[in-house]
Amino acid sequence: MTTKPAMFPHLFSPLTIRGARIRNRILSTGHDTVLPTDGTVNDALIAYHRARAQGGAGLIVTQVAGVHETARYTSHLLMATDDACIPGYRALAEAVHAEGATIFSQLFHPGREIMESADGLLAVAYAPSSVPNERFHVMPRALTLPLIAEIVAGYASAARRMWQAGLDGVEVVASHGYLPAQFLNPRVNLRMDGYGGDEVGRQRFLREVLRAIRTETDADFVVGLRISAGEREEDGLTAEEALAACIALQSDLDYVNVTTGTSATLGGAVHIAPPMAFAPGYVAPDAAAFKRALTLPVFVAGRINQPQEAEAILAAGQADMCGMTRALIADPEMPAKAARGAVDDIRACIGCNQACIGHFHKGLPVSCIQHPETGRELAYGRLTPAARRKRVMVVGAGPAGMKAAVTAAKRGHEVTLWEAAAQPGGQAALAQLLPRRAEFGGIVTNLMREVERAQVRLRRGVTVTEAVLREEAPEAVILATGAVPHLPDLPMDGGVQVVTAWQVLRGEVKVGARVVVADWRCDWIGPGVAETLAKAGSSVVLAVNGLHAGEVLPLYVRDDIAAALHRLRVEVRPYARLYGTAGETVFLQHTPSGEAMEVEGVDTLVLCLGHRPVDDLAEVAARLGIELHMAGDCLAPRTAEEAVFEGLKAGVAV
């Protein structure tokens, strides 16, 4: 018998759909992991999903599986077009079932939404009609009737392979403007044959797909549909059109999985993995409309990162199951912790998008800046106990130092964590002060909880010097002392106030009415400072030494920032290298041409020009003969992702 934990009775209620009994309402939605290397399920992917099943997830929907050769939207797509895929999927299903979870696979064709190909050549894309994609600049070919029939048969044979492999069901992806949604959308489907012309014709493709799948599987096999409740774009599928399709097709479906947005445009694509600027559970009201109109179970996803958020959505009757994918990426054990009421121990996702969807857009395996073990389960899934217990001093309680301290303590070492400031957190404590990035501070909260649970001794407000090292005499030192702002030697005559981003965020300076933010890093600091000052009433020029603001950021974070800066009328100047100041003028250099650019009448210049490492203790430790490891910005200034991962590696190495 399944019990319902008192804190979350709805979340931990089982749900039966056709032949599948799902132990709770926590869903890991389909998401590309980039873990497979040859288009088939491998050990890394199995270990990844096993970890989430072991942590208590109810339902795992695996990443998209291509149903036809024309479905290859990336070079690392899993394919279900040949029986050779069956053994891998069987091993995956057995691993997930062994941990008590249910498993479905997404079935996929992107239509015109082609990102890239394996050999670098532009692929031929197919869609209902030759209507271009804006985001990837793809002009597709209109599908012929024989090719439509091939693709429908491809969905059916792919489902049959999943059924033979022992999966519990499949989910047809009609969300985010992919091929089935393109057929449903009258602004994309301009056909006048049997697959267009009116609502019934536009629904025909999806109806044929669903019925073909049913003929190739058995009565217990679950067939669901993922669809956007409106693509949030001018020419996108509307919520009304999506709902009408679900109502018309519900006799062929077992559930509907509601999301929002589209892959087709930059504005719509933000909703594929909405950053922390979006409110938790913001898609739930859309799902509620579907639930009221349908007799089927309705799933929902969209920034549901905490069990209390999911419980509230379920209790309100807005949905029957909650997609908590990034929550499970950040903490695979989140369901088990929630079930026993240990909510303070949950490593909450902060919505940064850096190592999850950010890695996908770079063609790299999934991970998490807070939990680098994600995607690296085969290498770091289990910590090896230390061969000998050592007295370990970790210097610096930023993300790198906290992760190092926790890891070393878990391995059996006696660890003391030293921090010069009154509060731990390092630069993460500054990052949370930027607009719409308060959630970033969660990385500090989460790591501090892990420090407490690992019983690491924390010394605050103490600067570690050579004298302290001699007095403490540790057997090993992990240096995680971070970095400070880089201040270049540029010609400046004092006519313009020059300050750092750190000073602005700490409220240490008064900034004038006309501001230039010099952004060398092209990350979130420069745009965040620009947004802060624009909201405070300053006229702001953001001078970016790169192609555009947020160039190095995950795509959806970057695009959300671009929207905010545009609304605030921040002037963004790309290709702009800071040259110096004279009087009230800031001089810039256009990097490709070398020509001068000027901004006149400037009160304040804010420097976001990177950081330099604070690594003085490295030489001291080496001179004293102490075993030394380094992690994070003291090694080389980068991001929180590198800091936490290097903290993990240092804790493993010590």
pLDDT at 5: 76
Question: Is CATH 3.40.50.300 what the domain over 385-485+613-653 is classified as, yes or no?
Answer: no
Q: Which amino acid is at 180?
A: P
pLDDT at 57: 98
Euclidean distance between CA atoms 643 and 352, whole angstroms:
15
Euclidean distance between CA atoms 159 and 541, whole angstroms:
54
> At residue 239, what are phi and psi to the nearest 5 degrees?
-60, -40
Give me the CATH topology for the region 497-609.
FAD/NAD(P)-binding domain (3.50.50)
Tokens representing 32 are 């590309």
pLDDT at 1: 37
Identify the H or E element spanning 630: strand 627-630
Tokens representing 9 are 């009775």
- Contacts for 372 with CB less than 8 Å, ≥ 6 apart: 355, 380, 641, 644, 645, 648
Block means of pLDDT (10 residues each) for the chain, 654 residues, are 75 97 98 94 98 98 97 92 98 98 98 85 93 94 98 98 98 98 98 97 98 97 98 95 98 98 94 93 97 98 96 98 98 98 96 94 95 98 96 98 98 98 94 91 96 97 97 97 96 96 97 97 96 97 97 93 96 98 98 97 98 97 97 97 98 98
Tell me, what DSSP letter sits at residue 262?
Answer: B
Euclidean distance between CA atoms 298 and 321, whole angstroms:
7
- Quote the pTM value: 0.95
- Contacts for 632 with CB less than 8 Å, ≥ 6 apart: 396, 398, 399, 400, 401, 480, 482, 638, 642, 643, 646, 647
Beta strand extents in 342-496 (DSSP E only): 391-395, 414-419, 457-460, 476-479, 483-485
Euclidean distance between CA atoms 295 and 254, whole angstroms:
10
Domain residue limits, the chain: 15-379, 385-485+613-653, 497-609
pLDDT at 119: 79
- Whether 385-485+613-653 shares its CATH topology with 497-609 is answered no
- How far is residue 177 CA from its own chain's centroid? 20
Euclidean distance between CA atoms 282 and 415, whole angstroms:
42
Tell me the CATH number for domain 15-379. Answer: 3.20.20.70
pLDDT at 4: 67
pLDDT at 349: 96
Query: Are residues 319 and 292 in contact, defined by beta-carbon separation less than 8 angstroms?
Result: no
649 CB burial (10 A radius; 0-12, 13-18, 19+): middle
pLDDT at 606: 98
Tell me, what DSSP letter sits at residue 560?
Answer: H
Rounded to 10 deg, the angle between the 399-410 and 640-653 helix axes is 30
Sheet harboring 585-590: ordered strands across?
576-582, 585-590, 596-599
